[in-house]
Amino acid sequence: MKPRFNRLFTATAAGTLAALGALPTASFAQTVLEEVVVTATKRAEGLQDIPLSVTAFSQNDMDLRGFSNIQGIQEATPNLNFSVQSAGQNVARVTLRGIGTETLVGGGDPGVAVHIDGVYVGRNSVAAGDIFDISRVEVLRGPQGTLYGRNATGGSINIITERPNDEFEANVDLALGNYNSQRLRAVANGPLTDSVSARVALFSDKRDGFYNNSFNGRDGDDKDSLGVRLQFLWESESGNEVLLRGYHSEFDSIGPGSTYLGDDLPSTATGYPAGHITGVSSGPLPPPGAPIIADLYGLATTSEGDAVLPRPTGLRDVRRDAAEFLEQTIEGVDLEASFTLNDAMLFRSISSYQTNDNEILVDADNSELPIQTRYRLNEAEQYSQEFNLISQGESKLQWILGAFYYHEELTETFNTTTPAGLLPLSTPLPPGAVPGGGGVAQDRVALHDVDSYALFAQVSYELTEKASVTVGLRQTWDEKTQDRPFGGQLDLTNGYRFMGRGSTDPLPPSTAETDFSELTYRVSADYALTDDNMLFASISRGYKSGGFDFNGGALEGDEQVPYDPEFVDAYEIGSKNKFYDDRIVLNLTAFYYDYQDLQVFRLTGDGPLTDNAAQSTIWGLEAETELLITDAFRIDASVGHLDATYDEYFVEVPPPTQDFSGKTLNYSPEWTAHLGAEYTAVLGQNELIFRVDYSYRSETFFDRANSDFDTQDAYGLLNARIRYSAEKWFADVFAQNMTDEEYVTGQLINPPFSCGCRTVNLGPPMTYGVTVGYRWE
Q: What is the mean pLDDT of each run of 10 residues along the chain (777 residues)?
A: 33 35 34 77 84 92 91 94 72 88 74 91 82 92 84 89 95 97 97 96 95 90 94 93 96 83 70 85 83 89 88 89 92 96 93 94 89 90 96 92 95 90 92 92 88 95 94 94 81 80 63 90 95 95 88 68 91 95 94 92 68 89 96 96 93 77 93 97 94 97 87 96 96 97 84 67 94 95
The residue among 757, 715, 762 whose CA lies nearest residue 739 is: 715
Distance between CA atoms of residues 70 and 74, nearest Å: 7
Residue 8 inside a domain? The answer is no
Residue 730 inside a domain? The answer is yes
Tell me the CATH number at 304: 2.40.170.20
* C-alpha dist (Å) from residue 119 to 59, 113, 122, 334: 20, 10, 9, 8
Q: What angle do CA 289, 292, 296 make, to 5 degrees?
A: 150
Residue 431 inside a domain? The answer is no
Percentages (nearest 5) of helix, strand, coil residues in the chain:
5, 55, 35
Domain range for residue 579?
A: 13-426+441-776
Q: DSSP characters for 588-625?
A: EEEEEEEEEEEEEEEEETTEEEEEEEEEEEEEEEEEEE
**Radius of gyration, CA atoms only, the chain:** 27
Please tell me what DSSP assigns to residue 315: T
The residues, ordered by sequence, that sit 6+ positions from 577 with a Cβ below 8 Å of its Cβ are 48, 532, 533, 534, 584, 585, 586, 587, 588
Burial class (CB in 10 A: 0-12, 13-18, 19+), 350: buried
Q: Strands 212-213, 317-318: parallel, antiparallel or unpaired by DSSP?
A: parallel
First and final C-alpha spacing in the chain: 15
Q: What angle do CA 385, 39, 30 make, to 5 degrees?
A: 160
Residue 3 inside a domain? The answer is no
Side-chain-side CA neighbours of 762 within 13 Å: the count stands at 24
The residues, ordered by sequence, that sit 6+ positions from 608 with a Cβ below 8 Å of its Cβ are 103, 105, 549, 551, 552, 601, 602
Q: Which residue type is seen at 371?
A: I
> Residue 570 pairs with which residues in a beta bridge?
540, 593
How many structural domains compose the chain?
1
Contact 156, 135 (CB under 8 A): no
pLDDT of amino acid 73: 93
Whole-prediction pTM: 0.90
Distance between CA atoms of residues 212 and 182, nearest Å: 20
Residue 432 inside a domain? The answer is no
Where helices occur in 289-388 by DSSP H, the ranges are: 296-299
> Residue 767 pairs with which residues in a beta bridge?
736
pLDDT of amino acid 607: 63
pLDDT of amino acid 108: 76
* C-alpha dist (Å) from residue 12 to 15, 167, 277, 591, 717: 5, 46, 57, 21, 21
Contact 17, 11 (CB under 8 A): no
